[in-house]
Structure 1
Amino acid sequence: MSDNLQQIVYISSAEHPFTDEEFAEMLAAIRENNEKIGVTGMLLYKDGDFIQVIEGEEHVLTPLYTTICQDNRHYSVVEMMRKPIVERQFKNWSMGFHHINNDDPRLEGFKRFFDDDTEHKIDPGEALSLLLIFRD
């Protein structure tokens, strides 16, 4: 394993409600690019909000995250966590994806991640835990 692996977790809001076709097109492009540059991760979407984790070499993730922040398909990008990692937690996913429904039992205890209350504090560890629940 590389000594330069990093993991970045961020949240953002969609510029508009995405259709299934838009997701399919976006994910195909992301997965193809991520496979080329050695990035793995998971993207969750619910009611216009995203939580994503990306993993890879630091020299690849830094410019990729800059590009992500400038993508006009979303706004209010907030980096929750950036840390060095020994091994990937999403190594089998060039970009895993879940469009979460309100009644998904895996969401229990995590609903505040997707509410509109700007006063709540989101714990970066809990954000990663939510992503990991949908990985398995």
Structure 2
Amino acid sequence: MSDTLRQLVYISSAEHPFSELELANMLASIRKNNEKRGITGMLLYKDGDFIQVMEGEEDVIYPLFEVICKDHRHYSIVELMRKSITERQFKNWSMGFHHINNNDPRLAGFNQFFSDDINHQIDPGEALNLLLVFRE
């Protein structure tokens, strides 16, 4: 393994609306694999859209992201941020998760991430802030 921690943030759209059971099964698999690979992070799901942050060693994170990009369960994958980090921001989560509903007060100021407006530019720093809000 390398000794360089990386953080990667991306968004995508689900191939179909996921049921609670599908989300639970997917998360169980992700968490098991992430624990083996030393990956931490957070996944948010709302109305068929995902936003995820992953943290780990460079030689693990980037190949994993290539696999994620080929996963048939989602499409329109957009990498928002890829950077070196000195410490993990999601160190207590093999993969934290929130299924967000429209009434969640933590969404205040962040609704643009789940908007269908194709002209909206997503700020990578704001994307990370959204994930951090749900970390607590």
- Scaled to the shorter chain, the TM-score interval is over 0.9
SS of residue paired to 1:97: strand
Give the Cα separation in 1 of the matches to 2:135 and 2:110.
Answer: 15
Q: 1:71-127 deviations in whole A, cap 9, x for unaligned? A: 000000000000000000000000000000000000000001001001011000000
- TM-score (normalised: structure 2): 0.98
SS of residue paired to 1:10: strand
Aligned length: 135
User: Deviation at 1:3?
Assistant: 4.2
Q: 1:37-86 deviations in whole A, cap 9, x for unaligned? A: 00000000001100000000000001100001100000000000000000
Q: Which amino acid aligns with 1:14?
A: A
Q: CA RMSD, aligned part only?
A: 0.8
Write out the 4+ residue segments of structure 1 that deviate beyond 4 Å after TM superposition. none
Give the Cα separation in 1 of the matches to 2:8 and 2:31.
Answer: 17
Does the aligned pair in 2 maintain the 1:3–1:86 contact within 8 Å?
no
- Structure 2 segments unaligned to the other structure (5+ residues): none
- TM-score (normalised: structure 1): 0.98
Alignment of 1:1-136 (within 5 A): 3-136=3-136
Q: Percent identity?
A: 73
